[in-house]
Structure 1
Amino acid sequence: MPAAQSLEDLAYAAYLQEHGEPLEPDGNYTEVHLSDVELEDVRAGHATFIESAFSGVVLGGGSLERSRFSDVWISRNRWVGLRLADTEWLDVSVLDSSLAGIEAYGSRLRRVVFQRCKIDTLNLRGSTIADVEFDGCDLTELDCGGATLTNVTFAGSTLRRARFTGAKLKKVDFRGARELDVAAGAESLRGAIVDDRQLLELAPVLAASLGIEVK
């Protein structure tokens, strides 16, 4: 799915209103634009964001647990140590952003694009992830343990120490990934698509998961 590359490309750009107030629990944010703000220890669980944009936003710690993001555009953001457990993401684009130490287990992501992002320690354990693109991203410690992944791609991305223990994969395409390093859960890669080079790189962890000793 093509992601809008600028704010002006959004279908709802003309309706956006600048939002300078703190985010609140159970808040309903429709057609709002958070721009170039830094929020520490945000407490806005159960909030709803619809046709909204985050540009140049820094979120340091806190929680947006059980929030909903629908048709949301996120660009040049830096989110660190943020709790996003049990959130719902639909038609969301995340561009040129840095995410670190994000707890998003139990979430539901559908038609989400991560493009040119640096993602370090993203916990998606037990999540449902469908029609999601990681395009040109640098991912370290991606944990999809127990998650269900359907039609997920990693074109031009680097995966280091990824974990898929107990995950269920269907049409998960790793072809085009610059690096594929699986630290745990190689036995759960049934349903993945890899190229010849990646298969050779995965051979040691696949053998270990099957109890095969290679001498």
Structure 2
Amino acid sequence: AWFFNSSFRGTVLKGVRMEDVKLDNSTFVNADFGGVVIVDTSARGANLSHADLANTVLRDPKWEGVDLSHANLRGVEMHNARLKGAKAEGADFTGADLLNGDFRQARLSWARFVGAKLTRTRWVGAECKGTNFTSALDTGTATWGWGANACTSKR
């Protein structure tokens, strides 16, 4: 299904399974995804700010440039996510499993990755001012970048 430039503002999507859906440039501000399963879905440039995605399963999401500002992603299982250039300032990824995620050039200031699994994630060029990586597990396989603006587990 294709829902380009659609608005789902404040929509409750609990129990829904989305597979191979195109949601590019759509709006999900304050939407409740409570436990939804989303497989191979594109939401490039979509606005999911303040959305509740806690405990959802996201497999292979293509979400480049998506706005996840202040979204609740606690306990999310998000494997192979393409979040390059995403805006996720203040988002909460506490306890998330982010296997093989691509966060390059993402804006992650003040986001929380407390206790998150960061195996094979890519962070080169990401903005991480005030980002909390306390107890996050990267098993030495994450790519953090280098230099003054590098996103590191120490910030």
- Same fold (TM > 0.5): yes
Query: What is the alpha-carbon distance in structure 2 between the residues aligned to residue 58 and residue 163 of structure 1?
Result: 27
Q: Is contact 1:89-1:108 (8 Å) kept?
A: yes
Partner of 2:146, secondary structure, is: helix
2:40 equivalent among 72, 75, 81: 81
- How far apart are 1:140 and its partner, in Å? 0.3
Aligned equivalent of 1:57: 16
- How far apart are 1:186 and its partner, in Å? 2.8
Q: Is contact 1:170-1:192 (8 Å) kept?
A: no
Aligned equivalent of 1:157: 116
Give matches, 1:32-181, under 5 Å. 42-177=1-136, 179-180=137-138, 181=140
Name which of structure 1's ranges 167-176 and 79-88 shifts more when overlaid on structure 2.
167-176
Q: Is contact 1:171-1:191 (8 Å) kept?
A: no
Q: Which has the higher contact order (CA 8 A, sep 6+)?
A: 2
Q: Is contact 1:147-1:166 (8 Å) kept?
A: yes
Aligned equivalent of 1:199: none
Aligned equivalent of 1:10: none
Counterpart of 1:129, as a letter, is A
Aligned equivalent of 1:16: none
Kindly, what percent of the aligned residue pairs are identical? 20
Aligned Cα RMSD in Å? 1.8
Q: Which has the larger radius of gyration?
A: 1
- How far apart are 1:114 and its partner, in Å? 0.7
Query: What is the alpha-carbon distance in structure 2 between the residues aligned to residue 55 and residue 93 of structure 1?
Result: 10
Partner of 2:85, secondary structure, is: coil
Q: Is contact 1:171-1:193 (8 Å) kept?
A: no
Query: What is the alpha-carbon distance in structure 2 between the residues aligned to residue 92 and residue 45 of structure 1?
Result: 18
- How far apart are 1:191 and its partner, in Å? 5.7
Q: Count the aligned residue pairs.
A: 153
Match status 1:194 vs 2:149:
no
Partner of 1:119, secondary structure, is: strand
- How far apart are 1:156 and its partner, in Å? 2.3
Segments of 5+ residues of structure 2 without an aligned counterpart are: none
Higher helix share: 1
- How far apart are 1:183 and its partner, in Å? 3.2
- TM-score, normalised by the number of residues in structure 2: 0.89
Higher strand share: 1
Deviation digits for residues 128-178 of structure 1 (CA, Å, limit 9, x no counterpart): 22110112221101111122221011122211101012222211111132x
- How far apart are 1:182 and its partner, in Å? 4.5
Query: What is the alpha-carbon distance in structure 2 between the residues aligned to residue 167 and residue 193 of structure 1?
Result: 12
Query: What is the alpha-carbon distance in structure 1 between the residues aligned to residue 54 and residue 86 of structure 2?
Result: 21
